[in-house]
Structure 1
Amino acid sequence: MNSCINATHAGSADADSAKWRVTQGMLEREIAKVKKANVEHSGEKGKSRRMIGFQPG
């Protein structure tokens, strides 16, 4: 969802609204940013994350 919002924002940066365009490249760049952030947040690739909080059981 954030990828779409960010691509829309990038595509509407021109002062002339007639030139506003969201391209596939913009969307792909934003998706890549989110994927990179998710990998960095989760730690090493393939390493399981520790759950914090209530564990039913």
Structure 2
Amino acid sequence: MCTYVDLKDSKLGRIKPAGIERLLAGITLNSRANEKRLARASTVLDLYAVFTKKPVR
């Protein structure tokens, strides 16, 4: 799971996905139950993984 530390750690040299932090914050603000938060965040991160996957040659 992506955490605040993951998003703010610049020494790893990774490009941070624009908007992921806002998406997760929005999920947190709009979902009271942890189960619902996890389900929604999982969907977002699954979609991110699909769209950032490099094609196999």
Which TM-score band (shorter chain)?
0.3 to 0.5
Bigger Cα Rg: 1
* TM-score normalised by structure 1 residue count: 0.42
- Does 1 or 2 have the higher relative contact order (CA < 8 Å, sep 6+)? 1
* TM-score normalised by structure 2 residue count: 0.42
